[in-house]
Amino acid sequence: MTIRAVVRGVGHYLPDRVVPNSEFEASLDTSDEWIRTRSGIERRHFAADGQTTSDLATRAARAALAAAEMDGADIDAIILATSTADLTFPSAATMVQNALGNSNGYAFDIQAVCAGFVFALSTANAMILSGQARRVLVIGAETFSRIMDWEDRSTCVLFGDGAGALVLEAQEGSGTTDDRGILAMDLHSDGSYRDLLYVDGGVSTQTTGRLRMEGKEVFRHAVEKLAQTAHAALDKVGLTGADVDWIVPHQANLRIITATAQRMQVPMERVVVTVQDHGNTSAASIPLALSVGVQRGQIKPGDLVVTEAIGGGLAWGAVVLRW
Ligand code: UT7
């Protein structure tokens, strides 16, 4: 008997405030045209004053639970991938746990920046396969608008706020790649690239800090490493790009998404793209795209899905799952 971590439900939440590219033209030497052509981004959502990451995460979690026809008490564990938690502690995940009325499970945050959701999926899978949990709520939620330098046009036009969530459940599989659920993963990090993408503050420096990025260098690593990690994950279970129904990539830049699909020899018709509407929502971008992909009727039960992401660390990885 093979146990698989199978998706039972997916959902997302985006804050009400939509900010089009043109809004930056008043305060920065930038243009809608530059942002669109260099990144593919057209608009993004920003959280309202006082709205926190755990608020966004709770809304997305409720939507995923509703899709799974479950409630908070049915969940054994909650993993929240975020780099923008409400407070230094406790974890934003425990705030979500409380809001969902779950007191019998356990909850914690994971921090791998834009790759956070891939790391969280992999952790949830390990907990399910080891029998530590049967039902795991995996959330990606961010309020990156809180760590922008609004005078730095090379970063502040790229990011947005949002949240997405999945409910995973242990189910019996046959042990083949026809099984629904998580089939393979590939994770990496290399701390020697710290200076390419970081926040220049944090608790132990007694500041909050702002996001700093060497965009061109991160771009170069992304194009090289994302296809590599996706191929490595597929390879572990004897699959190739030809078997993939949907690539659901981290949504940072349309040019990175396109280049990765090309390297994987997967046509763009089989890639879920939401970057134009959400911008880069870091750890929230993959679950947001999964949820929107289902809503649009793109991703259907039985489809082979590959997710891949890279971000600060650098940390990167991919997960292969059958929806
Ligand atoms: O989620 C984590 C992973 N992050 C990423 O994957 C992001 C990776 N990087 C990127 O997506 C791209 O590198 C960017 C979108 C950030 C930048 O695109 P680029 O084609 O690499 O542009 P660049 O940084 O080489 O800048 C080109 C020019 C520069 O001017 P000069 O030096 O050529 O005169 C920039 O100063 O564009 C200028 N520029 C802008 N111009 C108008 C930079 N930002 C802006 C802006 N508006 N907002």
Per-residue model confidence as pLDDT tens for the chain (323 residues): 899 999 999 999 999 999 999 999 999 999 999 999 999 999 999 999 999 999 999 999 999 999 999 999 999 999 999 999 999 999 999 999 999 999 999 999 999 999 999 999 999 999 999 999 999 999 999 999 999 999 999 999 999 999 999 999 999 999 999 999 999 999 999 999 999 999 999 999 999 999 999 999 999 999 999 999 999 999 999 999 999 999 999 999 999 999 999 999 999 999 999 999 999 999 999 999 999 999 999 999 999 999 999 999 999 999 999 99
Decide whether any atom of ligand 1 lies within 6 Å of the 311 Cβ: yes
Cα(306) to ligand 1 centroid in Å equals 27
Running DSSP on this structure, what letter comes out for residue 28? S
Closest CA to 313 of 108, 90, 118, 70: 118
Q: Is 2-173's fold the same as 181-322's? A: yes
At 279, list the tokens: 């911008």
- Specify whether the CB–CB gap between 17 and 46 falls below 8 A: yes
The CATH label, of 1.10.260.40, 3.20.20.70, 3.40.50.460, 3.40.47.10, for the domain at 181-322 is 3.40.47.10
Q: Which residue's CA is the closest to the ligand 1 atom numbered 48?
A: 153
Residue 69's alpha-carbon distances to 74, 141, 168, 295, in angstroms, are 10, 22, 12, 16
Q: How many residues does the chain have?
A: 323
CATH 3.40.47.10 fits 2-173, yes or no: yes
Decide whether any atom of ligand 1 lies within 6 Å of the 153 Cβ: yes
pTM: 0.97
Q: How many Å apart are CA 247 and CA 258, to the nearest integer?
A: 11
